[in-house]
Amino acid sequence: MRYDVAIIGAGPGGSTAARLLAGKLSVLLIDPKSDAPGSFQKPCGGLLSPDAQRSLARFDLTLPRDVLVDPQIFSVRTYDLSSMLVRDYQRFYLNLDRRRFDRWLMELIPPGVDRLEGRAAAVRREADGFSILCRMPGGAEQTFSARRIIGADGAHSAVRRCLFPGHRARRYVAVQQWFEREDQHPFYSCIFDPEAGDCCSWSISKNRWFIFGGAFSPQDCRSVFEAQKERLARCFGFVFGTPAKTEACEVLRPRRLGEICYGDDGALLIGEAAGWISPSSLEGISWAFDSARVACDALLGGPSQTGNRYRKNTRRLRLRLAGKLLKTPVLYDPLPRRLIMRSGLRSIRTVSDARQCGK
């Protein structure tokens, strides 16, 4: 069978695209992930930002309670290791179980979309469409064909690498560890540490877990991560212990609008496969939702000029990305960050701060 569209990847971007195209086009959705123990799961902080909440509202979706985890936290503690300043800032994230969130998004896909548990190993252009070579869990291979492709396969996108091999984007490796800690006061944190590179690190409390992660330049990422843990323990009293789980994956971080890979008339890239992610916070779920919506509108708008329509209609996304690109140097440059943090502007003075000051 030849599908109208093959969607590669069923993260927030791919599941959304499958849901929006179901019943309108014949759709094949390909993703290797399953609930089987040991199956790859996307490393993620699992924080649903206000932008992502707005995207869900635009889709008229409400979140089921079993996707949430304990506790919901209302501030982020920001650590600056260059100035040794610490400040709390109000945040409006929802704390999620990312695995359950992805599963819920897949459950919303109406019947009629064919799903394949497999990995797209190679994608080739043909006379009137694409062939996709898939590797199944047992190792068997099968080829599928489709008139159009949506590449929703995340930062290390096979679609981008096969069809747009010349495209260059700034890449980091995110390393994240899970520690079993029931005794610790729950908190989120965001850590700026120039010794660990020019990106950031974070910690999140989720049920009985304390999760610590960071995004680092690919060279020596693991040793830089370990050295940062040691600095946080020494300078700020972080307690890590033995990790129950260590996970890692690629993460993109655009430096300019030109680093977005939109695709072309036959193959559209959405979500992190295209490079849609906030360079200031690495928040990517809202971008996956919004780019999926725009790509589906472009696909349903007719067979010609799809690529142009997609690029044109991402105007709002590009504007938002431009805003994040302007904000990034202010946040990541130690001097303005120190001035902002020292001023206390928009920070929250917590009860424990007051206690430390003896008040």
Ligand X SMILES: Cc1cc2nc3c(=O)[nH]c(=O)nc-3n(C[C@H](O)[C@H](O)[C@H](O)COP(=O)(O)OP(=O)(O)OC[C@H]3O[C@@H](n4cnc5c(N)ncnc54)[C@H](O)[C@@H]3O)c2cc1C
Instruction: List phi, psi (to 5°) of 170.
Output: -75, 130
Q: How far apart are CA 292 and CA 308, in angstroms?
A: 15
Closest CB 95 distance from ligand X, rounded Å: 9
Contact 219, 172 (CB under 8 A): no
Q: Is 173 in the site for ligand X (CB under 6 A)?
A: no
Among 26, 49, 177, 306, indicate the residue that binds ligand X (CB under 6 A).
49
Report the SS3 class of residue 125.
strand
Q: Is 46 in the site for ligand X (CB under 6 A)?
A: yes
Q: How far apart are CA 196 and CA 214, in angstroms?
A: 9
Contact 213, 202 (CB under 8 A): yes
Q: Is 263 in the site for ligand X (CB under 6 A)?
A: no
Instruction: List phi, psi (to 5°) of 151.
Output: -90, 105
Distances (CA, A) of 281 to 16, 112, 129, 152, 168: 22, 36, 37, 20, 21
Among 151, 197, 213, 275, indicate the residue that binds ligand X (CB under 6 A).
213
Nearer to ligand X, 26 or 49 (CB): 49
Q: Is 277 in the site for ligand X (CB under 6 A)?
A: yes
Q: Is 6 in the site for ligand X (CB under 6 A)?
A: no
Among 5, 27, 28, 47, indicate the residue that binds ligand X (CB under 6 A).
47
13-42: which residues touch ligand X (CB under 6 A)? 13-14, 30-33, 42
Closest CB 339 distance from ligand X, rounded Å: 27
Tokens of 54: 């707005």
Q: Is 249 in the site for ligand X (CB under 6 A)?
A: yes
Nearer to ligand X, 125 or 338 (CB): 125
Only one of the segments 76-84, 268-276, 323-331, 350-358 lies at the binding site for ligand X (rule: CB under 6 A); that segment is: 268-276
Nearer to ligand X, 83 or 202 (CB): 202
Report the SS3 class of residue 219.
coil
Q: Which amino acid would we find at residue 12?
A: P
Q: x/- contact string, 131-170, with ligand X (CB under 6 A)?
A: ---------------------xxx---x------------
Q: Is 290 in the site for ligand X (CB under 6 A)?
A: no
The one-character DSSP state at 314 is: T
Q: x/- contact string, 98-137, with ligand X (CB under 6 A)?
A: ---------------------xx-----------------
Instruction: By CB under 6 A, name the binding residues for ligand X.
Output: 8-14, 30-33, 42-47, 49, 52, 119-120, 152-154, 158, 174, 176, 213, 249, 251, 271-273, 277, 282-285, 288
